[in-house]
Amino acid sequence: MRRAWLLAVLFLFQCRPAGAADSAAGSTLDWHGSVLANYASRLGTTRHNKPPSGDFLLGEERLQLQLSGTAPGGGAGYFTKTDFLRDETTAASAVDVREAYLTYAKGSLDFRIGRQIHTWGVGDLLFINDLFPKNYAALFSGRPMEYLKTGAGSLKASVYSDKTSLDIIAIPVFEPDQFPTSQSFFLFDPFSQVTNRVEARPRHDLGNAELAARLYRPIMGFDAALYAYHGFFRTPSMEPDSITAPSKLTIVYPRLAVYGASLQGNAAGGVVSFEAGYYDSRQDRGGTDPLIPNSQTRFLAGYQRSPWTDFTAGLQYYGEYMQNYNRYAASFPAGLPKQDRLRQLLTLRLTQFLKYQTWKLSLFSFWSPTDKDFYLIPEAACHVTDELTATVGANVFGGASNNTFMGQLDKNDNLYLSMRYEF
């Protein structure tokens, strides 16, 4: 790892400043980076039965380098974003290649190949048709919001026009979402006594390649889009070898297809958003296998408005309606918590800028009236200088039960602090 840091430093000195151009060759080279220190400490827990990480959920320093450029003629280019990090909780160092891809553009066509981050849909921290990899452990432990999304090795082809545009994405190697583990979080596990666990990811072959498409265009002043996805659930399912006395668990990712739409635009003095998607659980369309998620219809409606200068408020309503619920309930093992037919969730985002926008105060909250749990993210950020930003915030979880998504994280409240210097 020391060699990696040395190479990063040499890279800084050998590259030209951002925006440098080689007029003779007709190529360009741009680079910049940042240094980030990020720490999160657990709040209000006893000293008994702690996860192995102890009081600290997060303690790391990162050097991030971004490099981009175009070839002579401007048709081809490249982009890389790499983090060199030190994890103080595990005393380990690593290199995290966030993105690294090649681009080619000609006329109305655009191609990208390599590791890249994709973002679709209109939800604010709610994802229906955005079915690309995410890191929820990063979100729950106070990393900057950009670390919620992770890259995937993929090929993206885009066709643009004044009327309608199309994106097609192919992902040959499946990557699951990343969730907190028992190494650092208190979690609800109905099979906690089973230590023999095996992960069975989809095989790396052409038949298991993920495909996603988005067709979008403006309609009467609104941004409208249609979506389609063919791949797998990124949230794992657990398959025990026996329901009554399991000795082995297999972690699987069932097959999934999603068809959806979104609409967003100015209305009612603010910005309104709508999004929906039908989740076709391809391995259990009848809904009789309790170990595989049932098909669902997911939807959201959002409204955002700025009632006064430098203040914004946004509200979202989100729902998940399970298909074939009676079959699900009849086949579900006794003693384990069942899902609701309709799971509901409300979110609220409040943002206030102060002192010529050098201070940013924000609150994001999740609250589920069906699960009876919540998740709060209060945060304050200060631009000390144009290059240096200091941020302090908290992740606060709660719920009436420890087996709901946010309720199980009740003992993981944490306070986080980050300092970021950009160059």
What CA–CA distance (Å, rounded) separates 169 from 101?
14
Structure tokens at 30: 């741009």
Asked whether 75 and 35 are in contact (CB, 8 A), the reply is no
Counting the structural domains of the chain, the total is 1
Is the pLDDT confidence value at 236 over 80?
Answer: yes
What CA–CA distance (Å, rounded) separates 155 from 171?
7
pLDDT tens figures, 10-40: 344 334 444 555 544 567 889 999 999 999 9
What CA–CA distance (Å, rounded) separates 140 from 214?
29
Task: Show the domain range for 242.
Answer: 2-422
263 alpha carbon, distance to own chain's centre: 21
* Mean pLDDT across 259-263: 98
Note the pLDDT of residue 194: 84
Q: What angle do CA 377, 382, 385 make, to 5 degrees?
A: 150
What CA–CA distance (Å, rounded) separates 142 from 34?
18
pLDDT tens figures, 162-179: 999 999 999 999 999 999
* Nearest one of 218, 209, 87 to 143, comparing CA atoms: 87
Low-confidence winner among 9-18, 227-236, 239-248 (lowest mean pLDDT): 9-18
CATH for 137: 2.40.160.10
**What is the layout of strands, in order, in the sheet containing 197-200?**
197-200, 249-252, 237-240
